[in-house]
Amino acid sequence: MLIYETTKKEFLEKVKDQSIFTELEKEYAKKDRKAGYKITNSWNGSLPYMYILLEDERIPDNCGISIEHGIPNIDQDKKIDFIITGYNQNKEKVAITIEIKQWTTIKEPTDKIGYIVSNYTKKEKINGKEKITYELVPHPSYQVWTYAFMLNQYNEEAKDIKIYPCVFLHNYDKKQNDVLDDKRYEKYIKQAPYFYKGEIKKFQDYICDKIKYGDNQKIIELIENSEETPSSLLQYETKDIKKYSNFAVLIDEQQIVHDKVIQMAQNTLKDNKKRVLIVKGGPGTGKTILAIKMILEFLEEGKENIKYICPIPSAREIYSYLLKKNKKSKKFVQNMESGANYIKYKENELDIAVIDEAHRLKENYGQYDKKGKNQVKEIINASKVSIFFIDELQRISTKDIGSVEEIRKNASKLGAEVEELKLTSQFRCYGSSDYIYWLEDVLQIRENDNFKNPKNKINYDIKIIETPNELDELIKKKNNVKNKKTGKIKNASRLVAGYCWDSKKEARNDPKYYDIDIPEYNFKKSWNLQKDKKWAIGEGTVEQAGCIYTCLGLEFEYVGVIIGKDLIYRNGNIEIDYTQKPRSDNNALYGLKTKLRKKSGEEREKAYNQAMQIIKNTYRTLMTRGQKGCYIFCYDDELKEYLKKRIKDGIQ
């Protein structure tokens, strides 16, 4: 999302008469956002310095200028402060991306890759006591370099533009042996040089070396109107997972988590103490990317007594199938735990266990639930270092015990040190964290007052479709879109449904039979066939519908969701009809049905609330599988009208 664009000449004129500040606020308002004090203060403090910088006559008047330029598919709060565009001596397209900081001093460097300790303080409560700590922030060269990388990676037009990231610290007095120049940051400064107070001339020379001719904003418009490339359709890229670009660069808190894992592993090698890290993150925050990246790095370092654990068979099946095709990635498959039997390991037999989708761990498992006692406990017992990636709102069965509380409880019993970190940056749903918050508010999972105001809108493609037939056709159409560069069909969109229809025995391997039947619309569809274990990437499998168990851990460009009869809307509230859950989905509400049959009482109410949470979590998960969009058919008419109104009020 672009907030403001102009030419160099107009920028200078508008800064000079101060009209630019008002115009920026108006443009923010048009995007349904309010420019708070922090943002307006940065404009007031920095744009006059950009005026001085651009006064150089060697910089063409018709260069394009972009202010507050959003990065495709990344958290919408992350923006490139300033971009200058034009052509170089060879008439090639050029964009200089600038991170502007008003810093005056910095406290110290840190061993966390790409991060420094600033002089800003923050308050936090630790064990009930308030503690003031210095804020850990990205080194500005690292920050602008990663943003430029992401712009190039996720924007089709940007791939043909020479992008030069750099930093402008106009208030910063550089000292001898400066913190910013610490050797730990050398490679980032080389990729993205910084210019400090008193270096206007040097910075101007840098710009003039890159840009010789103006472009009249054409390059900015190319970037803004370009097709956006999905950020992390992991199941389509694992054929050469080591080269998959998302694994090359980590953004913000992803890097902090990465470094914490490395540090814990190193500390355990020294003192042999058991350690546990809990990494919380919602849909699309990069949990799987980080989990797989960590295993690959440990393998490259020669650490082989490690395991990648994912309790979701469909995701495990796809990664295993694709990775086996690549010689360099075969070791990953060898270190992927294929089953759920972690009790087979002796205490501390594994050096490191990385647990993806930890919310789906079970207490008992195997045929008739006769194996094991507690997977969380078994994993912590078996591993010196355990890394749990978890989203508690993706627990979709009463058998799922993966929770922060459960992990902490078992870690304490086994004498393990525990730390928690959180991933918040959104890499799915067009990078809109607001969409996730909006969806949780709409489903009444947790309230968010920001979405009670119809003026607060979200940029994400979500629509209510009137019939399941139309929904099916729309998803097939999206699935058959060709990649502009390769000419191949993308095959990256799928239809999914709430589990409200039995999985019929005869339909499991024979496409002539159907599981899902909606007679009002003459609509029939099979659940994904047993033989098509690679449903999410298979040729022709768009003809089948996925369920919650086959799409967990995976994502698509567009997802079509059939909301069945189990989710309804009555008298201003989201409600459930648990009787619509079929026998073949006995796991979801396991142990609740007897309690739910009671007419009233505390036990029934508790069971109903638990069933409601599971069903809501299921639809939250299904409705966050789409990178670019989510299209929905509702069986319940009242729910359909409610969602239409909330979309009208809250989606751009």
Q: Are residues 380 and 410 in contact, defined by beta-carbon separation less than 8 angstroms?
A: yes
- Give 352 or 157, the one with higher predicted confidence: 352
Indicate if the pLDDT at residue 367 is higher than 80. Answer: no
Instruction: Average the pLDDT over each of 64-78, 198-212, 259-273, 449-463 and give the range with the smallest value.
Output: 449-463
- Can you give the pLDDT at residue 324? 63
Q: How far is CA 127 from CA 130, 131, 351, in A?
A: 8, 10, 29
Measured CA to CA, the distance from residue 406 to residue 390 in angstroms comes to 12
Measured CA to CA, the distance from residue 380 to residue 385 in angstroms comes to 8
In DSSP notation, 51-75 reads HHHHT-TTS-TT-EEEEEEEPTTS-
Handedness of CA 26, 27, 31, 35 (dihedral sign): negative
- Give 365 or 191, the one with higher predicted confidence: 191
- Can you give the pLDDT at residue 368? 46
- Can you give the pLDDT at residue 254? 80
Angle of helix 200-210 versus helix 37-54 axis, rounded to 10: 80
- pLDDT tens digits, residue range 92-146? 999 999 999 999 888 888 877 778 888 777 666 656 667 677 788 889 999 898 8
Instruction: Average the pLDDT over each of 11-20, 282-291, 348-357, 368-377 and give the range with the smallest value.
Output: 368-377
| Nearest CA among 300, 342, 296, 335 for reference residue 316 | 335
Q: Are residues 49 and 195 in contact, defined by beta-carbon separation less than 8 angstroms?
A: no
Find the mean pLDDT for residues 61-73: 85
- Residue 518: strand, helix, or coil: strand
- Residue 259: strand, helix, or coil: helix
| Nearest CA among 479, 498, 502 for reference residue 489 | 479
Phi, psi dihedral angles at 429 (to 5 degrees): 50, 45
- pLDDT tens digits, residue range 377-406? 999 999 999 999 999 999 999 999 999 999
| Nearest CA among 48, 38, 40 for reference residue 11 | 48
- Can you give the pLDDT at residue 316? 81
Q: How confident is the model at residue 165 (pLDDT cuts 50, 70, 90)?
A: very high
Burial class of 126 by CB neighbour count within 10 A (0 to 12, 13 to 18, 19+): exposed
Angle of helix 8-16 versus helix 37-54 axis, rounded to 10: 120
- pLDDT tens digits, residue range 419-461? 998 887 766 666 567 788 889 999 999 887 666 555 556 778 9
Q: How confident is the model at residue 476 (pLDDT cuts 50, 70, 90)?
A: very high
Dihedral-angle region of residue 128 (phi above 0 means left; psi in -120 to 50 means alpha; beta otherwise): left
Q: How confident is the model at residue 247 (pLDDT cuts 50, 70, 90)?
A: very low
- Can you give the pLDDT at residue 477? 96
Q: How far is CA 479 from the centre of its chain?
A: 22
Residues in the chain: 652
How many CB atoms within 10 Å of residue 618?
26
Indicate if the pLDDT at residue 478 is higher than 60. Answer: yes
Find the mean pLDDT for residues 264-286: 89
- Token pair 């393990």 is found at 416
301's tokens: 């370092």
Angle of helix 287-300 versus helix 253-271 axis, rounded to 10: 40
Rounded to the nearest integer, the mean pLDDT of the chain is: 85
Indicate if the pLDDT at residue 231 is higher than 60. Answer: no
Q: How confident is the model at residue 239 (pLDDT cuts 50, 70, 90)?
A: very low
HSE of 351, CA atoms in CB hemisphere, 13 A: 19
- Can you give the pLDDT at residue 243? 47
Q: Are residues 34 and 246 in contact, defined by beta-carbon separation less than 8 angstroms?
A: no
Q: How confident is the model at residue 480 (pLDDT cuts 50, 70, 90)?
A: very high
Q: How confident is the model at residue 416 (pLDDT cuts 50, 70, 90)?
A: very high
Measured CA to CA, the distance from residue 408 to residue 104 in angstroms comes to 41
- Residue 586: strand, helix, or coil: coil
- Can you give the pLDDT at residue 618? 96
- Can you give the pLDDT at residue 249? 65
- Can you give the pLDDT at residue 211? 97
Find the mean pLDDT for residues 564-571: 96
Measured CA to CA, the distance from residue 459 to residue 441 in angstroms comes to 16
- Can you give the pLDDT at residue 244? 41
Q: How confident is the model at residue 342 (pLDDT cuts 50, 70, 90)?
A: confident
- Can you give the pLDDT at residue 245? 36
Measured CA to CA, the distance from residue 298 to residue 282 in angstroms comes to 25
Contacts of 10 (CB under 8 A, 6+ apart): 65
- Can you give the pLDDT at residue 506? 78
Indicate if the pLDDT at residue 320 is higher than 80. Answer: no
- pLDDT tens digits, residue range 178-205? 888 888 888 889 999 999 999 999 999 9
- Give 365 or 615, the one with higher predicted confidence: 615
- Can you give the pLDDT at residue 105? 86
Indicate if the pLDDT at residue 413 is higher than 90. Answer: yes
> Between the ranges 365-379, 506-520, 617-631, where is the mean pLDDT highest?
617-631
Q: Are residues 471 and 633 in contact, defined by beta-carbon separation less than 8 angstroms?
A: yes
- pLDDT tens digits, residue range 7-51? 999 999 999 999 998 888 888 777 656 667 778 888 999 999 999
Q: How confident is the model at residue 569 (pLDDT cuts 50, 70, 90)?
A: very high
> What does the radius of gyration of the chain's CA atoms come to, in whole angstroms?
26
- Can you give the pLDDT at residue 73? 56
Q: Are residues 3 and 77 in contact, defined by beta-carbon separation less than 8 angstroms?
A: no
- Can you give the pLDDT at residue 133? 74
Measured CA to CA, the distance from residue 351 to residue 269 in angstroms comes to 9
Measured CA to CA, the distance from residue 382 to residue 583 in angstroms comes to 35
In DSSP notation, 126-159 reads ETTEEEEEEEEEE-HHHHHHHHHHHHHHHBTGGG
E strand or H helix at 123 = strand 115-126
- Can you give the pLDDT at residue 31? 65
